[in-house]
A and B are shown apart, each in its own frame.
Chain A
């Protein structure tokens, strides 16, 4: 009788042991699938939330007068507009910087008052990333108004705003943010270059740091080193509070996975090992009998490890199905922003089908070795 048939018959006979082992494997696979799916969703959620917080890096010309910069909110120096494409073309730059957005800012008189004019160009993102602009994408001839500006000018959406010699369409009035955004007028980069008299120039590249930077390794030093190499004529400022919030959020997600995965694996390994050991103990006399019938260690180990592999395959299939169902059913409540992007990950099934049988076999290895090495004479005395 072949080994597979013997294993199937034994599984049916020792149903409780088989079911408990299967439950352990299924539970472990399901939990790991849930952890993986929710961790991915959490990372996506973190990226979205952090992106919504806005840019946290400002790359400005190195010669900027910092007193002027902090007093007026923009650099008094400019750099060529193609600086951003030059920066983006640098090898590995997106490891540290992302969403590179050229901007030109300056003061613009309007009637008896001055406002901050910000021209925003197209964002450049890392290869393979969705090209969702982080800031505004404003067409030429259109403006976005900060709430204070709109209030002062009594402008609303759709009204016309004359700026210098041209009329602009007010496309959007921004909600009050309680920041300097409230006193800004946003235009396209080309319009701002024209209005501020700096054609082909920018005075800032807004960016966001990579989520991979960690606070414990001084991210600012890493950013500065990367920029010094890529763009020696510029310097970078980091909005530290925002950057730290990003790092903490990311680390929290990672810590959750780092804690949960080993716990699940250890508990499952102990559970499976214990059940395999009980199975070997229950089958001590049977092992002795197979020896008496002339079967060698390979065949006997095969009975136990083959069983572990079969249970691993079944546990992977059932665990993946349960884990995916639970993650899809309850994940949407946990991750409301990215709920729609919470999806089954078929690659996890492949991983589960490879790893669960292997894990199950490793957990059963010691009991299987015990079966192989036990004294057949002693085994035959057991019943």
Chain B
């Protein structure tokens, strides 16, 4: 499903080059719930963005569903993101001038079937407990509601994979658990989930835990069929 081969990403620092990712290789299978752990600055977010086609690696390659992400033309890579990848961020990143429903619809790729999109949006708002807030702007929502809206936006396109960057970093334990439960439900329906986090709150949903330290993969984990 997702394969990283010798992935490196270096940034130019003020006095020397910094390796955010250093020769990272691993594979994640379809339907897997993988957690990438590491301390702040270990390269987790860079790795996630690189997997999502948003951070071109200095070297190495990313293959998603058989397509080499960075070998694709920009338009094709945009299409791949629009159709196959759902992002969830710690800071939610909702469009502030669109209401909850519109934020969810914004996650649909261009040309999505209108009636299907409507039905899926309604179902997601219902299942995530957001129906009553559908016309509210993000500024009026609680943190939990914002993250559930962001989750709905990622799920509405029925992606192959959800890449979540510290999705519960700004949530209380109850809301955090709810978010992981929804991600796990997506996984149980055949989706692939990659979560980067520095905490342990995803541990009970993870089938596999990879560990990063200073940009290097120090533990690629052992896949298990059931969550640990």
Which A residues have a C-beta under 8 Å from some C-beta of B? 1, 6, 9-10, 12-14, 285-286, 288-289, 291-297, 376-377, 380-381, 383
Contacts and interface: CB of A to CB of B under 8 A. Distances in A.
Contacts of B140: none
Contacts of A12: 97
A293 B55 contact: no
Given A376-B54, A377-B55, A380-B49, A296 B93 contact: no
A1 B106 CA distance: 7
Contacts of A288: 93
Nearest to B52: A292
A292 B81 contact: yes
B75 interface: yes
A288 B45 CA distance: 14
B31 interface: no
A294 B93 contact: no
A376 B50 CA distance: 11
B54 A291 contact: yes
B151 interface: no
Interface in B187-227: none
B74 A296 contact: yes
Given A296-B78, A377-B45, A380-B89, 10 more contacts: A1-B98, A1-B105, A12-B97, A286-B95, A288-B93, A294-B79, A294-B81, A295-B78, A376-B55, A380-B93
B12 to A, nearest CB: 13
B79 A9 contact: no
Interface string B45-83: 110010010110000000000000000001100111111
Contacts of B79: 294
Interface of B: 45-46, 49, 52, 54-55, 74-75, 78-83, 85, 87, 89, 91, 93, 95-98, 102, 105-107, 109, 153
A10 to B, nearest CB: 5
Nearest to B46: A377
Nearest to B74: A296
B87 A292 contact: yes
A285 B54 contact: no
Contact of B54 (A6, A297, A377): A377
Given A1-B102, A294-B109, A9 B46 contact: no
A286 B97 CA distance: 10
B98 A294 contact: no
A294 B107 CA distance: 9
Contact of A285 (B93, B98, B102, B107): B93
A124 B85 CA distance: 80
Residue picked from B79, B95, B153, most chain A C-beta under 10 Å:
B95
A205 B94 CA distance: 80
24 contacts: A1-B106, A10-B97, A12-B97, A285-B91, A286-B95, A286-B96, A289-B93, A291-B54, A291-B78, A292-B81, A292-B87, A293-B87, A293-B106, A293-B153, A294-B79, A294-B80, A294-B81, A294-B85, A295-B82, A296-B74, A376-B49, A376-B55, A381-B45, A383-B91
Given A13-B97, A286-B95, A377-B46, A294 B78 contact: yes
Nearest to A9: B97
Nearest to B20: A377
B110 to A, nearest CB: 8
A289 B95 CA distance: 8
Contact of A294 (B82, B95, B105): B82
Contact of A293 (B46, B49, B81): B81
